[in-house]
Amino acid sequence: MTSSLALPTLTIDLQAVRDNYRLLQRRAGKAKCAAVLKANAYGLGADAIAPALVQEGCRHFFVAHIDEGVRLRKVVPRDAEIYVLHGVPSIQSLEFVQHQLIPVLNSLEQIKTWRIISDKLDVRLPAAIQFDSGMSRMGLSTGEVRYLKRNEHLLNSFNVALVMTHLACAEQQQHAMNEQQLESFRASRALFPRVSASIANSSGIFLGEDYQFDLVRPGAALYGIAPLEGEENPLKQAVFLAAPIIQTRKIANGGYVGYGVRHQADREQVIATLGIGYADGWPRAAERRTHAFLGGRAAPLVGAISMDSVTVDVSSIEGPQLKPGDTMDLICRYQTVDDLARATGTIGYEILTRLGNRLQRIYLDKSLESKK
Ligand SMILES: *Cc1c(COP(=O)(O)O)cnc(C)c1O
């Protein structure tokens, strides 16, 4: 094994993910609680997260791509349902059958494709159908839903296991779009009265009982992202990032730091260089907007973010005592994923999914600790 000393480290607290799942399950009332594990569980590692959620009773999973579903199937039990959000691309897509995946059918073409596969195999294969309730991203228009209802034979070959839609503005509780989408979904759903229904993502769960239906589909909240704008976050922090000091140096008053020499010291300063950069997902836009932490004491990042390193003014936190190999915290209780997102003009989802492959990932689960 190579030394891990010099690697920036992403720690994923699986116990926090489990606790978040349980909280969401409670908030979801009578609805079942799925887990959205697309993009490798938002970059955190679906292979580790899925089994933890299975232990908490989760049996419904959503991914975006077929390949993600194939991989997920290897780590969840046979009775777990895996939905593929992008649906079925062609009549050659037999992975759905081989790996027991359920497509989310988003168009009349996909419905036709699934019908052909089901007929050919002479099995009533399960599928979800997505309605577009106003976001204009994926799913059948209301006109197409009515067309389907007039031509019900189009659905005879397979088993509609779930009808669903997706909310565009759920993190803004007061947004008028929420109710509009709810009304649209109810109208479409009325044509499928006996089929399970699902509308809520993480934020949707917190819009109340009307939005919970039979199944809720949180992703971000499992990983600790705040579900509601401007409200306290009820979820536990699950993601922590730390990076090692490569070297420290004293610079004189007037000395420059980094590409473009955009930082100039206005007094003698101690600069620590950390082994993490934008290639690891620390946004280049974080220049002048974020801190590194040592035992809770903040030191500002100064100068440009490089590909593999950042520079920190540690003058005020006993910089001279710091040594190469010491680590500083970048995502921690004092600077969360949401804080970093706000500072850099993006959302926590993007921060998480861009955390790089070069980061050493460590999974904590109760007192057990395993390295990947
Ligand atoms: C990504 C996604 C989710 C999960 O959304 P979060 O906001 O992360 O909870 C749910 N449903 C669909 C269709 C999605 O694309």
pLDDT in tens, 35-74: 999 999 999 999 999 999 999 999 999 999 999 999 999 9
pLDDT for residue 260 is more than 60 = yes
Q: How far apart are the first and last CA of the chain?
A: 11
What span, in angstroms and rounded, lies between the C-alpha atoms of 61 and 102?
A: 10
| Ramachandran angles phi, psi of 300, nearest 5° | -75, 140
Is the CB of 216 within 6 Å of ligand 1?
no
So what's the pLDDT on residue 182?
Answer: 98
- For residue 118, CA distances in Å to 81, 89, 92, 170, 344 come to 18, 14, 12, 35, 47
Is the CB of 219 within 6 Å of ligand 1?
yes
| Stretch (H or E) spanning 331 | strand 327-331
- Contacts of residue 253, defined as CB under 8 A and 6 or more positions apart, other chains included, come to 265, 266, 267, 268
| Ramachandran angles phi, psi of 214, nearest 5° | -100, -25
- Contacts of residue 179, defined as CB under 8 A and 6 or more positions apart, other chains included, come to none
Give the largest Cα separation in the chain, rounded: 79
pLDDT for residue 308 is more than 80 = yes
- Contacts of residue 153, defined as CB under 8 A and 6 or more positions apart, other chains included, come to none
pLDDT band at 371 (very low <50, low <70, confident <90, very high): very low
* Cβ burial, residue 296 (10 Å; 0-12/13-18/19+): exposed
Ligand 1 center to residue 240 CA distance, Å?
22
Q: What angle do CA 323, 326, 328 make, to 5 degrees?
A: 125
Ligand 1 center to residue 202 CA distance, Å?
7
pLDDT for residue 367 is more than 90 = no
Beta strands at 256-257 and 263-264: parallel, antiparallel or unpaired: antiparallel
Is the CB of 220 within 6 Å of ligand 1?
yes
Q: Pick the atom of ligand 1 nearest to 202's CA.
A: 9
Q: Letter for the amino acid at 342?
A: R
Is the CB of 85 within 6 Å of ligand 1?
yes
pLDDT in tens, 76-97: 999 999 999 999 999 999 999 9
So what's the pLDDT on residue 318?
Answer: 75
Task: Specify whether the CB–CB gap between 159 and 187 falls below 8 A.
Answer: no
Q: Pick the atom of ligand 1 nearest to 138's CA.
A: 13
What span, in angstroms and rounded, lies between the C-alpha atoms of 19 and 21?
A: 5
| Residue 359, both tokens | 């980061």
So what's the pLDDT on residue 6?
Answer: 77
Ligand 1 center to residue 121 CA distance, Å?
31
Cα 143 → chain centroid: 32
pLDDT for residue 2 is more than 90 = no
Which of 85, 129, 172, 349 is the pocket-test mutation for ligand 1 (most atoms within 8 Å of CB)?
Answer: 85
pLDDT band at 320 (very low <50, low <70, confident <90, very high): low
**Residues annotated as catalytic (active site), given as ranges:** 38, 259
Residue nearest to atom 10 of ligand 1 (CA): 201
Residue carrying structure tokens 């959620």: 53
164-176 average pLDDT score:
97
pLDDT in tens, 180-235: 999 999 999 999 999 999 999 999 999 999 999 999 999 999 999 999 988 999 99
Which of 17, 60, 62, 83 is the pocket-test mutation for ligand 1 (most atoms within 8 Å of CB)?
Answer: 62
Residue nearest to atom 4 of ligand 1 (CA): 219
Closest CA to 341 of 300, 297, 281: 281
